[in-house]
Structure formats: structure tokens, C-alpha cells
Amino acid sequence: MDKYEILLELNRISEEKCKMDPKEQLRPILKEMKHIKMAVEVGLQEQEAYVQATAAADKEITELRDHLPRLAATISRGKERMALVKGMTLKEMLSIQQTVAKSEDSVVQSRARIDQLQYDCEEYLAEARKASAMVSELKRQYNEKVKVYQKEKERIELQYAALLSKEEALKEALGPKLLRAFNEAARVVPVNPVAVLRNGYCSGCRVEVSGQMKRLVAQQSENLQHCDHCRRILLPASAVRTYSDS
């Protein structure tokens, strides 16, 4: 390969390296993994919320059931006292009737509340099971994504390492003087530091160069020329057998 072919190949490699940036290529997979992980956390929170709701409902059921015997005792005593009408004033009778009625109403409400809480517990447990199943599925998906990530990371890194190795070999073949010129251009335009001068225009920035620059490039001397505007290395079109504009 002559110096122009080497420069063009280095230019192609610089573009490939940009496209093959491991971090950028792996970013979509990492993003998916992050979303799955967040969904797992949400699922675990939902599961815990249903577990806590079930525990709270169970506690209330226990408290209501513990209170029912006391209500029943209050009703029983009230009815026994109402049976002994003798020596009781009307006001006392009404008060006992109200207490009994209130206690009976509390019993009805408590039993209805217990039934509702038991139904709620079944619903909470069903939802908790759903959340648990969802979390398990998400964890499975996450583990699969980890495998995909590791495999893709290995593939990209191998390709990237091969590019770096080829780039290093080409730079060694280029020689110190030309390599300095290439590195200078690459610092200004890292992705594609090499361009072709066609009809007086730089193929990189699409701007016409000066007449003096046109003559210097056409001379094909040992010294490489840089575009007046973008600082890319300019290669003469006549010396480049194959070139594809980027």
C-alpha cells in the first residue's frame, strides 16, 4: 500500500471506530436492562404493599372477632335486664333498649366488615401472587439480557481490538513524519481526518481551497497538505484509485 492508500484506510478505520464504540453500541442493551430492573423494583414494591395490606386486614379481622363476644355479652345482659321490668323506670328501660340495639347493630356491621375484609384478603393475595409471578418473569428476562450483553460486549470488543491492531500496523507503515501530519489532522477532525481534493474542493468540508493549496496538493510531494478550512489532510484525486466520500 502506498502512503495515500494507508491514509485512506486509516480514515476508514477512524470512521469504523466511531461507529463501533463499545459503550455506544452496548447502551441500548444497558438501557433495556435498566428498565427491567426498575420494573422488578416496582413489582417488588407492589408485592410488599399487598402483603402489608393482607396483614393489616387480618389484624382488623382478629380485633373484630375478639370484640364480638363482648358485644354478645352486652346484648345478653341488656335483654336479661329488660325482662325484669319490675322496679325499672321508663328512662332506664329506653336506655337499655338503645344499648342492646346499638350492640346488635355493631354485631351486624362487624360481621359484614369481617366478610369484606376476608374478601379483600383473597384479592390482596391474588394480586400478590400476580406481582410475584411478574417479578419472576422480569428477573428471567433480566438474566437473559445479561447473557446477550456479555456476548455482544465480547463480540464488539474483539472487533474493536482488531481495528486497533490494524490501525497500529498502518501507522507504523506510515512513518514518523506522515504519522505526525495524520495525528495533527485527527486531533482537529477525529472521525474522518483525511479528504480528497476534487475540482479544487475539499471532499470533507465541501469548501474550495486556495489556488496555492491546489498546486501544492497536485505536486504530490512528500509533505502532506491540510485543507485551509477544516484542517483535514488533502489527497490529490489523481493519486487515489478508490475513494468513497463520507
Q: Quick one: pLDDT at residue 71?
A: 95
Which residues is 225 bridged to in the sheet?
234
Torsion of CA 233, 237, 239, 243, to 10 degrees: 80
Residue 207 dihedral angles phi and psi, to the nearest 5°: -115, 145
Task: Report the C-alpha gap between 69 and 73 in whole angstroms.
Answer: 6
Written as nine digits, the cell of 93 is 328501660
What is the domain extent for residue 219? Answer: 176-239
Instruction: Tell me, yes or no, whether 67 and 180 share the same domain.
Output: no
Q: Is residue 226 part of a domain?
A: yes
Domain final position from 174, 191, 225:
174
- Per-residue pLDDT tens over the stretch 99-147: 999 999 999 999 999 999 999 999 999 999 999 999 999 999 999 999 9
Work out the percent of the chain whose per-residue pLDDT is above 90.
77
Residue 2 lies in a domain: no
Q: Residue 242 above 70 pLDDT?
A: no
DSSP labels, 88-141: --HHHHHHHHHHHHHHHHHHHHHHHHHHHHHHHHHHHHHHHHHHHHHHHHHHHH
Residue 226 phi/psi, 5-degree rounding, is -115, 145
133 and 180 assigned to the same domain: no
| Angular region, 197: left φ>0, alpha ψ -120 to 50, beta rest | beta
Residue 81 corresponds to which amino acid? R
Tell me how far apart the alpha carbons of residues 25 and 22 are, in angstroms, rounded to a whole number: 5
Per-residue pLDDT of 85-101, as tens digits, reads 767 788 888 999 999 99
Domain assignment present for residue 111? The answer is yes
Name the more confident of 15 and 22: 15
pLDDT tens digits, residue range 72-86? 999 999 998 888 876
Tens-digit pLDDT profile for residues 148-177: 999 999 998 899 899 999 999 999 998 899
Per-residue confidence band for 241, with pLDDT thresholds at 50, 70 and 90:
low
Could you tell me which residues are beta bridge partners of residue 208?
201
182 and 139: one domain? no
Show which of 149, 174, 199 is a domain's final residue.
174
* Burial group, residue 193, by CB count within 10 angstroms (0-12, 13-18, 19+): buried
- pLDDT above 50 for 244: no
